[in-house]
Each structure stands twice: as structure tokens, then as C-alpha cells.
Amino acid sequence: MQRVDFLVIGAGIAGLSAAARLARHGTVTVCEAEGAPGVHASGRSAAFAHYDMDAKLVRALTAASMPLFDEPGARVHPALFIALVGQEADLERVEAVYREWQPAVERLSGEEARALVPVLRTDAKGAIGGLLDSEGRKLDAHALLETHRRSLRDAGGTIALAAPVTALRRDATRWIVETPGATYSAALVVNAAGAWADQIALLAGVAPLGIRPLRRTVITFDVPQGMDVSAWPFTKTVGPGFYIEPEGTGRLLACPMDEHLSDPCDAQPEEEDVALAAWRVEQATTLAIPRLASRWAGLRTFTPDRLPVCGFDAHAPGFFWLAGQGGFGLQTSPAMALAAEALATDSAWPEELRAVGIAAEMLGLHRFLPARDSARTPDCL
Ligand SMILES: Cc1cc2nc3c(=O)[nH]c(=O)nc-3n(C[C@H](O)[C@H](O)[C@H](O)COP(=O)(O)OP(=O)(O)OC[C@H]3O[C@@H](n4cnc5c(N)ncnc54)[C@H](O)[C@@H]3O)c2cc1C
């Protein structure tokens, strides 16, 4: 039996970034089911950071995170938000929320947007206006994961790969955590299992939160020879539509912003979502996509109120949730890791979070308690 202070379940961006911080306070082991970190959501993301996010809390977490990103994990790259016909009100809404966090954002005409992304149509199917954030960040998920892996290792922490947690039980004051190769006794368990977070709770005899994994699809394709897209902004419609972003000089990544409820699994792209991605890009641009370079899908995992959760479970001593990072888990990971460190070690609330108006309660589990407790019928009656 190996004794550790913190046993983190999941080596995605949530688990590894928190583990690197927790390693300053005690012994840490991360158990990851797969043979490498970042195999699921964290390695399948579009990896861009911007403020066109539905919830104020997510925008605040993003604002707190931006100064904490370092190269090579992040580099400045512009983001352009375009309005298609009928999306004028969405453009106003995005501009209003954006200015709170990035006052230097610029309003553009359709023609000005086309000067940045020359393939955008400006006819009835194309962009009628836009908003340019010159201070967006292109993230590199693998570089971020590697930085956390190194800090964890340098602080004496370890990652057990191909080590799925198969059983969890409470033994007096500690958690006994079983994997096929080893058994751990941990003072504290961090549930950072992404789409599997509710399944981990069930293994531990803890009531689930109602986590919903939603599949999203990505394609990549080559642009016509001689076209250099590397300086094009990350370009996203302000309402339903798509986003595209450069992948090197001659290739674009595109996503139709689909959401399909899924079981936690190794998500695979469905043909109709792949076709939808290509069709939406072809409708709004002059590009033709006769063949794809690659396609994939990943799970974006949401809590019932679509806000992330970070904190102890009041019904299960030493069981800490770090889940529900939806479509913003990379861009909010520095702030979420700070919050996890402060809450899991009972340390002072970080100034970086306070400065943008984030309090610990905003991330807590109490938001789900009525619905959650009614799911625990036998115990609660
Ligand atoms: C297509 C797509 C585009 C996205 N674009 C962006 C973007 O542009 N910007 C952004 O910030 N975010 C984006 N996201 C969201 C972001 O990728 C996620 O929010 C983030 O990766 C979630 O990290 P995680 O560590 O919680 O989950 P994961 O990376 O899924 O990690 C969870 C880990 O837990 C492990 N695990 C599960 N069960 C067990 C077990 N029993 N034992 C041990 N380990 C276990 C899994 O194997 C997995 O590695 C996107 C996501 C998708 C799918």
C-alpha cells in the first residue's frame, strides 16, 4: 500500500495543473487510466483562449488565467468574432461582454473582417461585421501538460499511467484507492476525471452531480496551394455557425460547435457532424473542402449549471471535485488550479481570483445540493 497526501484521478489539464500545485504541500500521485496524459478532452481541444464565453464566472476565470500562461504553452494570436446575417444582436452582446475584460477590442465592418480572412464572403451568406481581439491566446495543450508534468516531477510527485482507478473506499480517515498495479492510501482524493467524474463518485459511494459529457467535432483540411493562413485570426461566428483557426501555414481547423450528449467514452466523430463542419465553412467562405486532412471528436463535460466545480464534497470527507470545465478547461486551467490548491489545502484565497471577483462559493458544490440529495434517497429519508 502506497501512502500519499493527495491522489489525483485523471491526467488531463485539470488533474495535472492541480497536481503540480498540490505537490508544493505534500506527496502527490496522479492515476491516469490511459497510457499518456491528455488522451481525452485535453488533447482534442481547439486550444484557444478568448472571452466569448456564456458565463461571467468563466470569463473571470479566463481573465485570471491569461497572465499566468507562459510560452510555449500559450502565445498571443488574434481572435475575430464575425456576425452572419441575422446575428447583429449577438454581435452587440459579444461586444458588451468582451469590453469588460478586453477594452481594446475593435468593431469591424464585413469588409474589414474580410481583409483579415480573405475567404470570408460578404454577400448574403457571409460576414456583415466583426469584433477583433488582438490579444487572444493560442494555447498548446501538450506544452501545458508537459510543463505541469515537469513541475510535478521536480516536486517529487508521480504519475501512474495505464492506472485506471477501479475501486475507492473510505477506511477511517483515509481513502483506499485501487488500480490494477497498486493500491494507495490517500488523505485526499481529487476527482479530475473529466467526462468520468460522476463515475468516479459512484465508485466512491458518493452521489453524482449530474455531469453531462457533450461530444464536439473537429475537422482539418488543406487550403489551396500558395495560400498562407498562419496569420489569420481564430475566427468564430457570434451565434450558431462554426469556428476556424490556422494549423500551420496551409491548413485550417474547423468546428461546427456541435453538442451531442454522450456516455463517457473515447469519442469518435459522426459523419453528419463532419459534413456539417465542412458545409458551414463552405457556406460562409469561398473555400471548397473536397477532402479532409483529419477529423476527431472530444467530450466537453458540463455540470447542470454549465459552470465548473471545485471543492470538497460535504457528504464525503476528503473527496474533492475538480470537474465540469466544459469548453473552457484549458483557458481557465491556471485559475482553476489556483482555486483547487487553496481549497484543498485550506490556504488563503488567491489574490489573482479575488481581483476578478471570484469567490470560493461560486465554484462550490452547494449549487447542486437539493437535486443531488434527492438522488440519495435511501440515505436521506
Ligand atoms: C473539440 C473540443 C474543443 C475544445 N476547445 C477548447 C478551447 O479552444 N479552449 C479551451 O479552453 N477548452 C476547449 N475545450 C475544452 C477542454 O478541452 C476541456 O475543458 C478540458 O480538456 C477538460 O480537462 P479535464 O482534465 O477535465 O478532462 P480530460 O482531459 O478528459 O481528462 C480526464 C482524464 O481522466 C482520466 N480518467 C477517467 N476515468 C479514470 C479512472 N477511473 N482512473 C484514472 N483516470 C481516469 C481520463 O482518461 C482522462 O485522461 C475543447 C474541448 C473539445 C472536445
Residue located nearest, by CA, to atom 7 of ligand 1: 47
Task: Say if residue 72 is preceded by a cis peptide, omega within 30 of 0.
Answer: yes
Q: What is the dihedral of CA 109, 115, 121, 127, to 10 degrees?
A: -30
Give just the sign of the alpha carbon dihedral 326, 315, 171, 344. positive
Cell reading at 141: 495543450
Ligand 1 atom nearest the C-alpha of 299 is 53
Does the CB atom of residue 298 touch ligand 1 within 6 A? yes
How big, in percent rounded to 5, are the helix, strand and coil portions of the chain?
30, 30, 40
Q: Can you give the pLDDT at residue 223?
A: 97
Kindly report the backbone phi and psi dihedral angles of residue 21, in degrees, each rounded to the nearest multiple of 5, phi listed first.
Answer: -75, -40
Report whether residue 66 contacts ligand 1, using a CB cutoff of 6 Å.
no
Q: Which three cell numbers stand for residue 274?
A: 463532419
Q: State the distance from the centre of ligand 1 to the C-alpha of 109, rounded, in angstroms.
A: 36
- In this prediction, residues 54-82 reach a mean pLDDT of 96
Q: Which three cell numbers stand for residue 371?
A: 437535486
- Phi-psi sector, 289: left (phi>0), alpha (psi -120 to 50), beta: beta
Domains contained in the chain, CATH given: 2-42+141-209+305-368 (3.50.50.60), 78-135+212-302 (3.30.9.10)
- Sign for the CA dihedral angle at 48, 51, 53, 58 comes to positive
Q: How far is the CA of 13 from the centre of ligand 1 (A)?
A: 7
Ligand 1, atom nearest to 296 Cα: 1
Residue to mutate (ligand 1; options 32, 54, 258; most atoms within 8 A of CB)? 32
- Judge if the beta carbon of residue 190 lies within 6 A of ligand 1: no
Nearest-CA residue for atom 18 of ligand 1: 329
Q: How far is the CA of 284 from the centre of ligand 1 (A)?
A: 30
The yes-or-no verdict on residue 379 having pLDDT over 60 is: no
Q: Per residue in 40-52, pLDDT tens?
A: 999 999 999 999 9
pLDDT in tens, 75-132: 999 999 999 999 999 999 999 999 999 999 999 999 999 999 999 997 877 899 999 9
Any atom of ligand 1 within 6 Å of the Cβ of 46: yes
Q: What is the mean predicted confidence (pLDDT) over 19-45? A: 98
- Average pLDDT (62-79) is 96
Q: Helix axis angle, 56-65 relative to 333-344, nearest 10°? A: 90
- Calculate ∠ Cα 180-184-187, nearest 5°: 150
Residue showing cell 440515505: 379
Residue with the three cell numbers 493500491? 183
The mean pLDDT of the chain is: 95
| DSSP per residue, 92-112 | HHHHHHHHHH-TT-EEEEHHH
Cα gap 25→304, rounded to integer Å: 32
Expressed in angstroms and rounded, the spacing between residue 88 Cα and the centre of ligand 1 is: 33
Q: In the prediction, which pLDDT does 124 show?
A: 78
Instruction: Please name the residue whose Cα sits nearest to atom 31 of ligand 1.
Output: 12
8 C-alpha to center of ligand 1: Å?
14
Q: What atom of ligand 1 comes closest to residue 15's alpha carbon? A: 25
Could you tell me if the CB of 178 is within 6 A of ligand 1?
Answer: no
pLDDT for residue 61: 98
Residue 222 near ligand 1, beta carbon < 6 Å: no
CA distance 155 to 167: 27
Average pLDDT over residues 254-268: 98
Q: Does 281 have pLDDT greater than 60?
A: yes
Q: Indicate the top mutation candidate among 206, 300, 331 to test ligand 1's pocket, ranked by most ligand atoms within 8 A of CB.
A: 300
pLDDT (tens digit per residue) in 157-196: 999 999 999 999 999 999 999 999 999 999 999 999 999 9
Mean pLDDT to the nearest integer, 334-341: 98
Tell me the whole-structure pTM to 2 decimals.
0.96
Alpha-carbon gap, residue 142 to 43, rounded angstroms? 7
39 Cα nearest atom in ligand 1: 49
Atom 21 of ligand 1, residue of closest alpha carbon: 42
DSSP of 5-66, one letter per residue? EEEEE--SHHHHHHHHHHTTTS-EEEE-SSSSTT-SGGGSS--EE-S--S-HHHHHHHHHHG
Report, as an integer, the average pLDDT of 327-333: 98
Confidence of residue 378 (pLDDT cuts 50, 70, 90): very low
Residue 261, phi then psi, degrees to nearest 5: -60, 135
Q: Are 95 and 48 in contact (CB under 8 A)?
A: no
Q: Can you give the pLDDT at residue 373?
A: 67
- pLDDT band at residue 380 using 50, 70 and 90 as cut-offs: very low
Distance CA 64, CA 69 (A): 10
d(CA 381, CA 376): 9
**Quick check: 232 pLDDT over 60?**
yes
CA of 279 to the centre of ligand 1 (A): 27
